[in-house]
A = this chain, B = another copy of it.
Amino acid sequence: MRVLDRIEQVRKELEAARQQGREVGLVPTMGALHGGHAALIERSARHCDVTAVTVFVNPLQFGPAEDFARYPRDLAADVAAAEAAGADVVFAPPVEEMYPSGVATRVEVGRLGEVMEGAARPGHFSGVATVVAKLFAIAGPCRAYFGEKDYQQLLVVRRVAADLSFPVVVVGCPTVREADGLAMSSRNRYLSPGERLAATVLWRALAAAAASGEGDGDALRELMARFVSSEPDVALDYAEVADAATLEPLGTVEGEARLLIAARVGATRLIDNLPLGVAA
């Protein structure tokens, strides 16, 4: 496996692979790889001939009061995990390689980036859209794998790829969960043992709502909120029932819908989501 830190290196590597008729898979990550990332890499490795994993903690997508500085960074561990999952290339550029002269150009996605996580984290999806557009421009024609755990991010990335006509097939992959239901996330490692237990309430709230058979939006929101309020160390940010494509809140469930939840567990903000009507 090759570990590269220069844009032109990875561009050439993937260009050469395509010249030989090999299909390229791309797995953009911020490192701190866990079982969810491994599932993305494995899926890419099964379908594609060359899988490139990018490891870049993107400053653009963090707010000033967020955890950019302390976000976990361990390139050696990430390289080992990527290789074990079947990656052929790890692209781990320093910030100065990605943003050598500051960041004038930003990619904005409008309303889809302003609700829910976008409302809680102003500028977050602009940062995501910008770095993903740049990674797509670097990688060239490929399949790109993103987890459904960050469901709104997946929609944003799909929208950027479609609107800007990148030659990229965006593949959404199911959330990978711990045995007790907690969605795998790099931020789970911030949790104390007590918080780790309490954090399962996000999953329990989603699963109960999905299994309830309830069709009224507000009733579903209240059901999830009640679950979360039973955990004293967990503060709900939002519990939403929304159109699965537009993320507009639903009064009554119809068509493809999605349950989405965000809460602070101690000092750690976690998110999760579930398609409505599907018990996982």
Q: Give chain A's interface residues, CB within 8 Å of chain B.
A: 7, 11, 15, 19, 99, 101, 103-112, 129-130, 133-134, 136-138, 140-141, 159-160, 162-167
Give the distance in Å from the alpha carbon of A110 to the alpha carbon of B99 in the complex: 15
27 inter-chain pairs at a CB distance below 8 angstroms, sorted by A residue, are: A11-B167, A15-B141, A19-B19, A101-B162, A104-B110, A104-B112, A105-B108, A105-B109, A105-B110, A105-B129, A105-B159, A105-B163, A106-B107, A106-B109, A107-B133, A108-B108, A133-B164, A134-B163, A134-B164, A134-B165, A136-B137, A137-B137, A137-B165, A138-B165, A140-B140, A140-B141, A140-B167
Contact A163 B103 (CB under 8 A): yes
Residues of B within 8 A of A137 (CB): 136-137, 164-167
Query: Is there contact, CB below 8 Å, between A104 and B163?
Result: yes
Residues on B with C-beta less than 8 A from A166 are 137
Chain B: minimal CB distance from A159 (Å): 6
CA A160 to CA B104, docked complex, whole Å: 8
Q: How far is the CA of A140 from the CA of B140 in the complex (A)?
A: 8
C-alpha spacing A7/B163, complex, angstroms: 12
Count identical subunits in the complex. 2
Name 11 extra pairs, CB < 8 A, besides A15-B141, A105-B129: A7-B165, A99-B163, A104-B111, A105-B107, A105-B164, A107-B107, A133-B133, A134-B163, A140-B140, A140-B141, A140-B167
Indicate if the CB atoms of B167 and A104 lie closer than 8 Å.
no
Q: Which residues of B contact A136 (CB under 8 A)?
A: 137
A103, A105, A141: most-surrounded residue (chain B CB, <10 A)? A105
CB nearest to A105 among chain B residues: B163
For the complex of A and B, list the 9 residue pairs with the smallest distance between their C-beta atoms, beginning with the closest.
Answer: A105-B163, A104-B110, A137-B166, A106-B108, A137-B165, A138-B165, A134-B164, A134-B165, A137-B164
Give the distance to chain B from A110, nearest Cβ to Cβ, in Å: 4
Residues of B within 8 A of A159 (CB): 104-105
What residues on B are CB-neighbors of A133 within 8 Å?
A: 107, 133, 164
Residues of B near A11 (CB, < 8 A) are 165, 167
> Interface centre among A19, A103, A133, A163, by most B CB within 10 Å?
A163
Contacts of A129 in B (CB 8 A): 105
